[in-house]
């Protein structure tokens, strides 16, 4: 018994066994219910199959959602009503405003750069002999955590004073060119751009995979017809390829924007949100869990939600439209 509760593997075994038992019990009840009258059977089946998931969603997403909105109108310890004070704080205190400004930069630059690079790369390697390997190379960072990527790039950006031997790859190149080494992560406002490039490095592979599949789906007879009509490669690309893959381009752009709005790991790992690199999602975490200000932290969460909503709605409508087009 001690082994099961006091060791990590023990806890793992208990969890898996416990959970398997619950599922087995549910399915046994379902099996028994299969034999009863239709009027009883139908609701019983729904309750057994969908009930557990719906219960967890109500408890873990729907209730917290309303609770967070409520807390955003309360003080730091959720004891008295403060109206819009937290929202005013969020939009007027200079250190918070830096978070908004940086988040704006992140959300504009990350989708554009990663989609652009992903598209160019997808086009360049299409049908080449090394296509599979080439894809895996760009795709590889997608498997790496933001924390891992943060460390990888912190190492690339590493700075040593002029005259010392540089151990960061970028400053070594700069040094070799005879220029002054750059403090990539310390000097604002450029440091935010260098953090953004890390996310671009991760997301470009995602853009490339989706766009590559989409490019391959452009019917060849259209291209062939345009070529026979004397269209130049440049015209072909802009007048045929781009319009044909536009639905995928939009989905890729919005999907990356949504992910970018919630990013906090990279900032946290690489600069600890110091040197003016604060972002919205990290503000939310710091206020709620470091400074214990549930009011302001909740208001930040609501801001993230409000910014995500239009993007998600746009994304869903676009996906629905794509499905219609494909038939």
Residue 127 engages another protein in binding (rule: CB under 8 A): yes
Q: CA angle, 92 as apex, 98 and 259 as ends, to 5°?
A: 45
Residue 67 engages another protein in binding (rule: CB under 8 A): yes
Rounded distance between C-alpha atoms, residue 42 and residue 34, angstroms: 9
Buried-exposed string 226-254: b where 16+ CB fall within 10 A, e elsewhere = eeeeebeeeeeeeebbeebbebbbbbbbb
Q: Which two tokens stand for residue 128?
A: 């080449």
Considering only residues 21, 213, 246, 321, which one is a binding residue for another protein as defined by CB under 8 A? Answer: 213
Min dist CB 110 to another protein, Å, is 13
Tell me which residues in 33-52 interact with another protein (CB under 8 A). 34-35, 42-43, 45-46, 48-50, 52
Cis amide linkage into residue 27, ω under 30° from 0: no
| Site stretch for another protein (CB under 8 A), options 6-14, 81-89, 95-103, 186-194 | 6-14
Tell me which residues in 95-114 interact with another protein (CB under 8 A). none
Q: Report the candidate in 191, 204, 61 with the shortest Cα–Cα distance to residue 141.
A: 204
Count of CA atoms in the C-beta half-sphere (13 A) of 213: 8
Residue 156 engages another protein in binding (rule: CB under 8 A): yes
Residue 162 engages another protein in binding (rule: CB under 8 A): no
Nearer to another protein by C-beta: 192 or 288?
288
Tell me which residues in 304-323 interact with another protein (CB under 8 A). 304-305, 308-309, 312, 319
Asked if residues 260 and 106 have their Cβ atoms less than 8 Å apart, the reply is yes
Residue 187 engages another protein in binding (rule: CB under 8 A): no
Largest CA distance in the chain: 85
| Site stretch for another protein (CB under 8 A), options 61-69, 81-89, 94-102, 104-112 | 61-69
Min dist CB 101 to another protein, Å, is 19
């Amino acid at each position: 018994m001690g082994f099961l509760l006091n060791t990590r593997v023990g806890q793992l075994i208990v969890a898996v066994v416990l959970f398997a038992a619950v599922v087995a019990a549910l399915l046994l009840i379902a099996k028994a219910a299969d034999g009863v009258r239709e009027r009883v059977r139908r609701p019983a089946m729904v309750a057994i199959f969908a009930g557990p998931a719906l219960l967890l969603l109500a408890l873990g997403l729907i209730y917290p959602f309303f609770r967070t909105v409520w807390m955003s109108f309360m003080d730091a310890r959720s004891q008295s009503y403060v109206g819009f004070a937290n929202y005013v704080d969020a939009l007027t205190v200079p250190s918070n405003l830096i978070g908004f400004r940086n988040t704006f930069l992140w959300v504009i630059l990350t989708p554009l750069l990663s989609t652009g690079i992903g598209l160019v790369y997808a086009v360049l390697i299409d049908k080449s002999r090394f296509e599979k390997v080439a894809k895996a190379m760009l795709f590889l960072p997608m498997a790496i955590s933001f924390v891992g990527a943060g460390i990888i790039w912190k190492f690339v950006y590493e700075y040593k004073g002029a005259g010392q031997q540089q151990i960061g790859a970028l400053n070594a190149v700069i040094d070799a060119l005879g220029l002054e080494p750059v403090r990539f992560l310390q000097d604002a406002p450029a440091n935010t751009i260098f953090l953004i490039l890390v996310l671009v490095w991760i997301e470009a592979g995602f853009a490339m995979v989706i766009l590559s599949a989409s490019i391959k789906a452009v019917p060849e007879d259209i291209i062939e017809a345009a070529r026979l009509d004397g269209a130049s490669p440049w015209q072909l690309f802009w007048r045929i390829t781009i319009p044909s893959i536009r639905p995928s381009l939009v989905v890729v752009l919005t999907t990356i924007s949504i992910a970018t709005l919630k990013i906090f790991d990279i900032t946290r790992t690489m600069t600890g949100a110091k040197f003016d690199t604060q972002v919205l999602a990290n503000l939310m975490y710091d206020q709620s869990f470091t400074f214990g200000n549930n009011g302001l932290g909740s208001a930040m969460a609501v801001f993230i939600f409000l910014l995500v909503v239009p993007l998600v709605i746009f994304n869903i409508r676009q996906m629905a439209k794509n499905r219609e087009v494909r038939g």
